[in-house]
Structure 1
Amino acid sequence: MRVISVLLLALVTAACAAQIERPQAPTGDGQTRPLARPAQDATAQERTADTLGTTTPAGRPAAAGAGGGVSLGTTVASLGDPTEAGFWLKTPLVAATSPGRVEYAGTGQAVEVELRPSGTEAGGGSQISLAAMRALGAPLTGLPELRVYRR
């Protein structure tokens, strides 16, 4: 009786598996290929610099630095948390949050930022927001040297 039950179960399982068809898409060469999986979340977007850089085109010129301020020195900055919106620089050059400006000599651009203490040792480098990095025209994967000013 056991053997018959096992064989019957195997037959039913095989019959079910044979009826499941995966969606196929025709290709130009007469063959078919499986379709790509749909996104897990229909509302999810591809996470790129364009989708994470949430500043409006009108907000970018307003952040452009006009000059002036007390020079705090230079720092090498990497891209900070791209999900943290706004124009900011986390740096060991300040002990308290204050308004400021950073300049990138590579493009000659400057941008107004909120200077935030990083809590790291002097010379430890800084982190800059995605919006500020884009406004400066700095490479997102680079380590630009920035001149920092406090307002």
Structure 2
Amino acid sequence: MTMPVLRLTGALLILGLAACTNTGKTPASSPAPVMETMTDPATGQPVIAGPVLKGTAPRTPGKSSSASSIGESAGQPAAALNTATREERAEAAAPVRAGGKRLGTTVASLGDPSLPGFWIKTPLVGSESAGRIVNPATGKSANVRLIPLGGPASGGSQVSLPALQMLGVSLTDLPTIEVYGS
């Protein structure tokens, strides 16, 4: 029983291989067209000659990132992003306003550094108002604009770049700060 099955399998294999060969009755496939000269629009460098590929995505010009660039500075130091004026800094550093009510503590992280001024977006307030934030580790404080942020009161807060710098906090730290309303 095994021999007829093996013979049939061998015959089918031979027929399959014979069907794959070019018998001359159909024209042989021509080689793919080759690019003679072309420059890469992103780099301006000549492209190596080779077959023309169809259906590939175009190369997007721009800066590429590699694993070796992870953790390197994006080009601007934090001080260059701090656009607070002298007047804003003086107002933020002014003595503590009387009658401030402690709203609670929150974990602070750097907010959008492109937004100017001294502010904190926090779930500890329901409406925008004036207030103050204090870093209990250093005792430094800053007068800020309190801006509501959705989420539970136990959620974290986003603080402006100049306010974090005034508190003496590293921009990569997540300090617990105190928030006071006026």
TM-score of the two chains, using structure 2 as the length reference: 0.57
Aligned: 1:52 with 2:81: yes
Identity across the alignment (%) = 46
Cα distance change of structure 1 residues 58 and 97 upon mapping to structure 2, 3 Å threshold = closer
Q: Deviations over 1:77-101 (max 9, x none)?
A: 1000111111000101000001000
Q: In 2, distance between residues paired with 1:47 and 1:81?
A: 15
Aligned partners of 1:88 and 1:132 also within 8 Å: yes
Query: Please, which runs of 5 or more residues in structure 1 have no aligned partner?
Result: 1-5, 22-38, 40-44
SS of 1:62's equivalent in the other structure is: helix
Among 105, 110, 114, the alignment partner of 2:141 is 110
Report the RMSD for the aligned CA atoms in angstroms: 2.8
Structure 2 partner of 1:97: 128
Query: Please, which runs of 5 or more residues in structure 2 have no aligned partner?
Result: 1-32, 46-62, 64-73
Q: In 1, distance between residues paired with 2:107 and 2:171?
A: 13
Cα distance change of structure 1 residues 91 and 65 upon mapping to structure 2, 3 Å threshold = farther
More strand by share: 1
Could you list the structure 1 runs, at least 4 aligned residues long, displaced by more than 6 angstroms after superposition: none
User: What does 1:2-151 align with in structure 2 at a 5 Å threshold?
Assistant: 10=36, 13=37, 46-67=75-96, 68=98, 69-151=100-182
TM-score of the two chains, using structure 1 as the length reference: 0.68
The structure with higher relative contact order (CA 8 Å, sep 6+) is 1
Aligned partners of 2:121 and 2:159 also within 8 Å: yes
Q: How many residues align?
A: 118
Aligned partners of 1:65 and 1:101 also within 8 Å: no
Shift of 1:107: 1.9
Shift of 1:58: 4.4
Shift of 1:125: 0.9
